[in-house]
Amino acid sequence: MTARGISLVVASVLLWGLGRTLGLPELFVVAASSGALVGVAGLAVWLSTATVAARRVVGSARLPAGARTDVRLELRSDSWLPSSLLLVEDQCHYGLRPPHDADPPRVVVAGLAPGRTVSFDYELAGQSRGRYTVGPLSLRIRDPFGLVERVRRYPGTDEVLVLPRIEVLGEGITRGNHRGSEASDRRRLFTSGDEFYTLREYVTGDDLRQVHWPSTAHRATLMVRQQELPWEPEAVLFCDTRARAHHGTGPDSTLEKAVSVTASLVAHLAERRYDVRLGTEADGHAPQAAGLDTLLDRLAELDASDVERLSPALSRLRGAEAGGLLAAIVCPPPGSGPVRAHPDVRALIGCGRRFSGRLAIVVAPGTGGAGSRSAELARVLTGAGWRAVTVGPRDALADAWPALVSANRRTATGVRG
């Protein structure tokens, strides 16, 4: 019961007592009518909410950072009684709410007639990467007199994955990374390709246009050409997610910048048909090749790790099959000792020797000693044959990209202002 309903019940009890004391039957009638009104209101509210069906339709379950999508809510009344004022509220994580919108989506429905369906839309905005839950939906209904209300919760929820921010990078990849280290002695054979490799017997489902008729006549069995698919370039991305190495919180933190840089490189390389693998220091095994959507989904949910050193993961990466391009998105090593002598830096340089192309993006806070160590790390990697730049949380990777892929670049760039 609402405050008004409680007040009416208390008033009906007092009127009943007063009528009994004074012997006035009219007061008994008013008291009984008031109590009955509250009871009828409660029954009507219960029947109305028990037969309201709700459905939620999310426009997109995968949302790029900064993009928006619509959510449609549909309510249908299956009751034989009309429902009065409805207050609909759909729970929504603050990471999906549009800017300056602190409250969850709410809408007021003036009434819902029997058999009628009403729908309305609201907007979600991908403010920060992550997996978020939309719902549950709650429906609050009151009787026309405002005496009784009921809140019904619908347990169904939907998930929305907000992807990391991706920058569009210019053309160019550092020289010497277009083929894996074993491109000359490993072949990938398919039923169709660009170059003739060998002959084999026909298998059901083979393209009849690949039949080699002279060999078929010679061997008295169908023979088809086996083609070789061109070798795809390979790339390994290593993202440093150590909590102790990163600075700041929220969208301006170095961790978010590192994830955004990694996502930008993944999209850039995948667009150029690179066979991309992604690893972090928290992985217990060498990274495996995966598609663009799979890699972006992983980056969307990537959290800071408690691992203290990069060396073990880099050793696993070095011991695995290597070749092609290595792109490392790292932070400067913590501490005040020489950057060149740090075990993680030595392990990174050693790991890079297994790859024909080496890129490094050093994510720097941009201020204080950490910024100086970032520039020093970039210089050390440049001296070891890498192409290295430093970027801050508010810097655009696209601005540093030409220097990173320039064939004549021999020095690391500093932290951008």
- pLDDT tens, residue by residue, 299-321: 999 999 999 999 999 988 876 55
pLDDT score for 258: 96
pLDDT score for 86: 86
Average pLDDT over residues 325-337: 91
In this structure, the chain runs to a length of 417
Q: What are the start-end ranges of the H helices in 178-304? A: 213-219, 254-271, 292-300
Decide if 314 contacts 351 (C-beta within 8 A).
yes
Which H or E run includes 19? Answer: helix 3-22
Mean pLDDT, the chain, whole residue set: 84
pLDDT score for 95: 85
The helix/strand/coil state of 140 is strand
DSSP 168-212: PP-S---TT-SS-TTTTT---EESS-SEEEEEEE--TT--GGGB-
pLDDT score for 319: 60
- Bigger pLDDT: 133 vs 190: 133
Burial 319-358 (b: 16+ CB within 10 A, else e): ebebbbbbbbbbbbbeeeeebeebebbebbbebbebbbbb
Nearest Cα neighbor of 302 from 239, 393, 392, 247 is: 239
| Rounded Cα gap, residues 255 and 253, in angstroms | 5
| Rounded Cα gap, residues 381 and 235, in angstroms | 18
Q: State pLDDT tens for residues 84-115.
A: 778 899 999 888 988 777 788 899 888 788 88
**Ranges 41-50, 128-137, 264-273, 357-366: which has the least confidence:** 41-50
Nearest Cα neighbor of 35 from 7, 56, 59, 54 is: 7
